[in-house]
């Protein structure tokens, strides 16, 4: 990927009911399963854990993770009431109310205790966040020393034309609302270099940031004590 143009931020919270329903109705089963499996792989040695999911959306990912890791309890946060209503429905339908706690809060300033989580994970919150260093600072606060961190997000393409091509390739069959959302998300996302700078600014050491696919990067590793 060549050097990307400037970021065009999109709204942080997905609190519009139609947008939340369109997102929840889309078939992300492949990417969500891949995320949960990669997390389980990274966490192969962690049988029992307090885990935290940031920007949980419809909670499909924590549901998958809870099934792969039966010894984990997961706190799943989102700032959008519209998304949490869908998450509530899905967690109840999965019979996981006892293992997945849903919390409405901003992931940049959570009313959660410090050094409380063995695992902190998130899929696709970062591109929503302006002031991402605050998010990483909060991750560093709530993670136990040595906690496993795993984030996956979109990487900003080199140009609007490149973003359009990605939408066509990977979401050409989705609804117009979802395609528009995906395009905005791509332009709102960060580059690997920007994320490395955010981590340094937040004093979060010991993490690797690397491209995982042609349009995603992963941030993973153990939070340095
Ligand atoms: C693209 S969705 C991803 C949902 C889910 N992680 C998934 O992969 O299916 C991003 C979610 O992050 C939430 N979000 C955005 N900014 C947030 C913030 N500052 N605090 C908490 N949640 C936030 C949005 O409301 C939305 O539900």
Q: What's the chain look like in SS3?
A: CCCCCCCCCCCCCCCCHHHHHHHHHCCCHHHHHHHHHHHHHHCCCCCCEEEEEECCCCCHHHHHHHHHCCCEEEEEEECCHHHHHHHHHHHHHCCCCCCEEEEECCCCCCCCCCCCEEEEEEECCHHHCCCHHHHHHHHHHHEEEEEEEEEEEEECCCCHHHHHHHHHHHHCCCCHHHHHHHHHHHHHCECHHHHHHHHHHHCCCCEEEEECCCCEEEEEEECCC
Chain segment 96-154, per-residue pLDDT in tens: 999 999 999 999 999 999 999 999 999 999 999 999 999 999 999 999 999 999 999 99
Q: Whole-angstrom Cα distance, residue 186 to residue 25? A: 20
196-214: pLDDT as tens digits? 999 999 999 999 999 999 9
Asked whether 13 lines ligand 1 (CB < 6 A), one says: yes
User: Quick check: 1 pLDDT over 90?
Assistant: no
Which residue from 16, 61, 77, 125 has its CB within 8 A of the most atoms of ligand 1, so it is best to mutate?
125
CB count in 10 Å sphere of residue 17: 14
Which band of pLDDT confidence, cut at 50, 70 and 90, is reported for residue 183? Answer: very high
pLDDT mean over 36-53 = 98
pLDDT at 41: 98
Q: Which two tokens stand for residue 30?
A: 């492949």
Res 3 pLDDT > 80: no
Q: What is this structure's pTM?
A: 0.95
111, 79, 118: which is closest to 223 by C-alpha?
Answer: 118
Take atom 4 of ligand 1 and give the residue whose Cα is closest: 57
Nearest Cα residue to atom 12 of ligand 1: 55
Most confident of 13-22, 66-75, 166-175: 66-75
How far apart, in Å, are the Cα atoms of 155 and each of 23, 38, 57, 100, 159? 19, 18, 19, 29, 12
**Mean pLDDT within 166-174:** 94
Q: Domain 17-222: give its CATH code.
A: 3.40.50.150
Indicate if ligand 1 lies below 6 Å from the C-beta of 129: yes
**Greater confidence, 175 or 89?**
89
Per domain, the residue ranges of the chain are 17-222
Residue with tokens 């490149």: 162
Q: How much is the average pLDDT of 62-81?
A: 98
* Residue 73: CB atoms within 10 Å: 15
Selected residue with higher pLDDT from 43 and 6: 43
Ligand 1 near 152 CB (within 6 A): no
- Which pLDDT score, from 0 to 100, does residue 19 have? 80
């Amino acid at each position: 990927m060549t050097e990307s143009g400037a970021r065009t931020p999109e709204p942080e919270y997905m609190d519009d009911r139609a947008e939340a329903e369109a997102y929840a109705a889309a078939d992300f089963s492949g990417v969500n399963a891949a995320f949960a499996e990669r997390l389980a792989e990274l966490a192969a040695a962690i049988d029992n854990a307090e885990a935290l999911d940031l920007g949980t959306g419809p909670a499909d990912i924590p549901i998958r993770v809870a099934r792969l890791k039966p010894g984990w309890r997961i706190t799943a946060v989102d700032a959008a009431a519209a998304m949490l209503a869908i998450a509530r429905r899905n967690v109840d339908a999965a019979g996981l109310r006892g293992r997945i706690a849903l919390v409405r809060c901003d992931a940049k300033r959570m009313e959660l205790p410090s050094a409380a989580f063995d695992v902190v994970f998130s899929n696709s919150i970062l591109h929503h966040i302006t002031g991402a260093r605050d998010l990483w600072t909060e991750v560093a606060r709530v993670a136990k020393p040595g906690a496993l961190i795993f984030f996956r997000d979109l990487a900003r393409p080199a140009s609007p034309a490149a973003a359009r091509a990605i939408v066509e390739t990977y979401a050409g069959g989705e609804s117009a609302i979802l395609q528009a959302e995906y395009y905005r998300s791509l332009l709102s996302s960060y580059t690997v270099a920007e994320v490395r700078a955010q981590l340094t600014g937040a004093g979060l050491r010991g993490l690797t940031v690397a491209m995982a696919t042609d349009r995603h990067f992963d941030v993973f590793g153990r939070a340095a004590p």
